[in-house]
């Protein structure tokens, strides 16, 4: 199934209708209880949206990343939280480009049917942070298996995923010329691993993100679960990271548009001193500025997705898309809260929940400072700063 420009409108409408069946009270309850939105994820899976990037021969829709971006944007625009399931889309950047044919035939049909979830991406570690080349999790080849030891953190949805892409060092850093060499990606079957070397511990955070830390103690992973070539895992995850940045950017655009609609409606309805507060330029101007920032960022997200879909290099564009969209959503969120005044802090208005959720993307999946460092060095030619 190919995706054309006019198809995106149909996709957006269908996703919006599905999201409308999950009222805001549903999201308030899941947030309040720190509960995983299982019903919502099942509905998206049944409708085929979470398998949109999987090729038709494996049971998916075979759509492009631009379509996945539209899906996630609409989820956020509806007031929902796509973070509960977005990894099943951005991990496809690694899976589709680097998994073997045997691996694709084994896992993709089951993922497309909803029999398996691929929601976990195990990369970040406590001691390394965003310095991926410094990770310490090690995988040693022993016959037909890798024996893995280490720790991961901020591995969201690990408790709700059947599969995890795990980045580990298969060659010690001191034995490689380039620090990003010697890293490999393994596909871990979570249920088989739990209690046999894999331990998952939830981390309670300011948002309902189902994030965890993972402890790995002599976990055996079949060698056939190696994704791509041994020692070339960094290249494999880069495809997933670029897709992740673009899709997170799309989510931020959706958040920003939700904030804008919410603030505009409230500014038109709320009357103080005998007139709508939206009549005051002190209220109008922040809304207008947030709108401009959102529309500009949306163009960069579209450009990055187009380059990715065309198979062209898109590192700078993916990073700029994520950064600009995250800044726009935060600007819109701050504006929306300010427009609502004290009511913005009340749970029933949903602003405070979305305000907390969108703040995450100033930090994840990569901090804004590192995006700036990347652009300074690799695009502008400035000296390396770290």
Instruction: Decide if 244 is catalytic.
Output: yes
Scored b (16 or more CB within 10 A) or e, 25-62 reads: eebeebbeeeebbeebbebbbeebbbbbbbbeebbbbb
pLDDT in tens, the chain (386 residues): 445 555 899 999 999 999 999 999 999 999 999 999 999 999 999 999 999 999 999 999 999 999 999 999 999 999 999 999 999 999 999 999 999 999 999 999 999 999 999 999 999 999 998 889 999 999 999 999 999 999 999 999 999 999 999 999 999 999 999 999 999 999 999 999 999 999 999 999 999 999 999 999 999 999 999 999 999 999 999 888 999 999 999 999 999 999 999 999 999 999 999 999 999 999 999 999 999 999 999 999 999 999 999 999 999 999 999 999 999 999 999 999 999 999 999 999 999 999 999 999 999 998 889 999 999 999 999 999 98
Q: Where are the alpha helices (DSSP H) in 114-232?
A: 190-193
Scored b (16 or more CB within 10 A) or e, 90-107 reads: bbbbbbbbbbeeebbeeb
| Residue position matching structure tokens 């570690």 | 125
Q: Is 281 exposed, middle or buried (0-12, 13-18, 19+ CB in 10 A)?
A: exposed
Note if the pTM is more than 0.85. Answer: yes
Tell me the C-alpha distance between 217 and 197, whole Å. Answer: 5
* CA nearest neighbour of 290 among 244, 337, 247, 248: 337
Would you state the pLDDT for residue 2?
45
Phi/psi for 377 (5° steps) reads -80, -50
Task: Determine which one of 125, 244, 317, 352 is catalytic.
Answer: 244
* CA nearest neighbour of 85 among 23, 185, 160: 160
Would you state the pLDDT for residue 151?
98
């Amino acid at each position: 199934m190919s995706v054309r420009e006019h198809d995106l409108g149909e996709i957006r409408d269908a996703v919006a209708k599905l999201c409308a069946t999950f009222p805001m009270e549903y999201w308030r309850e899941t947030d309040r209880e720190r509960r995983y939105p299982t019903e919502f994820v099942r509905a998206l899976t049944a409708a085929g949206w979470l398998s949109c990037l999987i090729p038709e021969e494996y049971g998916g829709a075979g759509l492009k990343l631009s379509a996945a971006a539209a899906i996630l944007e609409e989820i956020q625009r509806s007031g929902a939280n796509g973070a509960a399931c977005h990894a099943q889309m951005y991990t496809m950047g690694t899976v589709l480009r680097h998994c073997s044919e045997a691996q694709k035939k084994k896992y993709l049909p089951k993922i497309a049917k909803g029999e398996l979830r691929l929601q976990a991406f195990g990369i970040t570690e406590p001691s390394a942070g965003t310095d991926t080349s410094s990770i310490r999790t090690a995988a040693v080849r022993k016959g037909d298996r890798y024996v893995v030891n280490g720790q991961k953190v901020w591995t969201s949805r690990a408790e709700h995923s059947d599969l995890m892409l795990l980045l580990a060092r298969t060659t010690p850093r001191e034995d490689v010329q380039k620090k990003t060499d010697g890293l490999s990606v393994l596909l871990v079957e979570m249920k088989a691993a739990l209690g046999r070397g894999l331990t998952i511990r939830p981390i309670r955070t300011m948002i309902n993100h189902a994030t965890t830390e993972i402890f790995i103690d002599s976990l055996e992973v079949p060698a056939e679960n190696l994704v791509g070539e041994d020692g070339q895992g960094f290249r494999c995850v880069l495809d997933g990271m670029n897709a992740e940045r673009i899709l997170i950017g799309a989510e931020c655009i959706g958040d920003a548009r939700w904030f804008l609609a919410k603030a505009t409606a409230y500014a038109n309805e709320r009357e103080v001193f005998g007139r709508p507060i939206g009549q005051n330029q002190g209220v109008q101007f922040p809304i207008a500025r947030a709108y401009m920032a959102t529309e500009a960022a949306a163009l960069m997200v579209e450009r990055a997705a187009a380059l990715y879909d065309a198979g062209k290099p898109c590192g700078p564009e993916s990073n700029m898309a994520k950064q600009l969209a995250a800044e726009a959503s935060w600007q819109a969120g701050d504006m929306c809260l300010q427009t609502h005044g004290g009511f913005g802090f009340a749970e029933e208005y949903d602003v405070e929940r979305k305000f907390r959720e969108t703040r995450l993307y100033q930090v994840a999946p990569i901090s804004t400072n590192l995006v700036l460092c990347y652009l300074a060095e690799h695009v502008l030619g400035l000296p390396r700063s770290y």
